[in-house]
Amino acid sequence: MAFQKLINKATDSLVTIAMGTPYDYGGFDSFGPPTYTKTQLGESIDKSTLKLLKVAYDVAENKNVISSPLSLMVLLALFNTGAGPQAREEITRFLGGSDFKQTSDSYRDLSVRFSELNPEALTVANKVCVSDKLSLQDTFTAAARSYRSEVDTIDFGNAQAASDTINQWADQKTQGNIKKPTTPDMFGDDVVAALFNVIYFKGHWHVPFKASETTDKDFHLTKESKVQKPTMHLLQSLYYTESPELGARMVELPYKERGFRMVVVLPNEVDGLPSVLEKAAEKGLLNDVFNLSPAGADVDLDIPKFDIKSKLNFNDILPKLGVSKLFTEGAGGIVKDQSVVVSKAFQEAFIKVDEEGATAGAFTALIVDRVEDFSEPPPPIKFTVDRPFLYAILYEDKTLFAGTYTN
């Protein structure tokens, strides 16, 4: 039987934007922005994320791409606990590890940690469904539970009802933002199990964007063509860095929700995004993210509002990343008395960035231009996002979402 295992992924990201003061981390125990520690897992997620995004960008017709590779990675790590030996080796390597158990434990611990965060900011949910005519292996059930997964039986033969059940779950977990990630034709009597994951994020900026300052400005599609885009404006103290290696500059926009931030990577050249993506896929972004520091001057930021939806077919993408055996090699450790393979692996994701939100600010006075000698402050650093760019949303050093905006 085919394991029409949806490494489905109703994935998702809603990013709304709110008001606040720069680096006003309300509710924190200490003043100033949080400090982050780079971890081995964070570095592995970073590199795998950029590799996957690069392939997704290359194969996409619409180069506006949003994805949560981490959502896929969690499912792959869970699937790996019951996978065949060749698939296990491929998946472990893609996840950035060399030891299967250590890698699996890392993603299990991450799933547990995410499940304990404030669901108003971040929801990470797993669901494992098995045919009502079969049973999961006890070891796989235990693994799923350790990943904080819901485990249910379902009649896949009743394709409409199965699809409705999963869609209702995705709708509820994403607060109504992803309603129908599955369709009845994805199910049937040959489906024996399915794995699902949702990552949903809703964050509020600490740096205020005033809607009254949003105006239409030029956005360069290529060196020869441009369009007008509603563009938000901000003049504020932000974390900033330049990366000659990437050929790009970067700025960090912190969220009110502790530990979350968006990093915008702006290529130096109008047509520089493919080159930046290629270099980022080789080395990741995290080293540059950790080079971000106070700019020493206000950043004069212009960035377009955007709203993107993507559907990614991982059946096409994963083999390009060296992960193919899960589609062909029987996995005997998932369903009792069955050797199963993955038949469908896909993701639906979205992101919305605009000015909406609530005002919050307790530490405004801490982030000011402190001029010890009373000399003139340095001129603002212009950061005009008027060309195709790369962005990522992180929790601490873990990349939750990454995407490209081109038009």
How does DSSP assign 125-167, residue by residue?
A: EEEEEEETTS-B-HHHHHHHHHTTEEEEEE-TTSHHHHHHHHH
pTM for the predicted model, two decimal places:
0.85
Mean predicted confidence (pLDDT) in 340-352: 84
Amino acid at 310: S
Lowest mean pLDDT segment, chosen from 25-39, 40-54, 177-191, 302-316: 25-39
Cβ-contact 246, 278 below 8 angstroms: no
Domains observed in the chain: 3-203+307-352 (3.30.497.10), 211-304+385-405 (2.30.39.10)
Cβ-contact 381, 295 below 8 angstroms: yes
**What is the tens place of the pLDDT at every residue in 226-259?**
999 999 999 988 899 999 999 999 999 988 888 8
Task: For residue 360, give both structure tokens.
Answer: 């919050």
Higher-confidence position of 330 and 266 = 266
Instruction: Report d(CA 225, CA 219) in Å as an integer.
Output: 9
**What is the tens place of the pLDDT at every residue in 228-237?**
999 999 998 8
**What is the tens place of the pLDDT at every residue in 162-180?**
999 988 988 888 888 788 8
Cβ-contact 259, 340 below 8 angstroms: no
Lowest mean pLDDT segment, chosen from 290-299, 314-323, 373-382: 373-382
Mean predicted confidence (pLDDT) in 108-132: 87
Cβ-contact 36, 374 below 8 angstroms: no
Nearest to residue 103, comparing CAs of 132, 83, 126, 80?
A: 80
Lowest mean pLDDT segment, chosen from 11-15, 164-168, 368-372, 382-386: 368-372
Task: For residue 63, give both structure tokens.
Answer: 């180069």
| pLDDT greater than 50 at residue 24 | no
| pLDDT greater than 70 at residue 364 | no
pLDDT of residue 250: 97
Cβ-contact 404, 277 below 8 angstroms: yes
Mean predicted confidence (pLDDT) in 32-53: 89
Q: Give me the phi and psi of 272, to 5 degrees please.
A: -90, -5
Average pLDDT score over the chain: 82
Instruction: Report d(CA 92, CA 89) in Å as an integer.
Output: 5
Nearest to residue 18, comparing CAs of 239, 257, 213, 200?
A: 257
| pLDDT greater than 50 at residue 365 | no
Amino acid at 244: P
Q: How confident is the model at residue 85 (pLDDT cuts 50, 70, 90)?
A: very high
| pLDDT greater than 50 at residue 361 | no
Helix (H, G, I), strand (E, B) or coil at 52: helix
Higher-confidence position of 115 and 49 = 49
Dihedral angle over CA of 326, 344, 162, 11, nearest 10 = 100
| pLDDT greater than 70 at residue 273 | yes
Instruction: Report d(CA 263, CA 278) in Å as an integer.
Output: 18
pLDDT of residue 376: 57
What's the residue count for the chain? Answer: 407
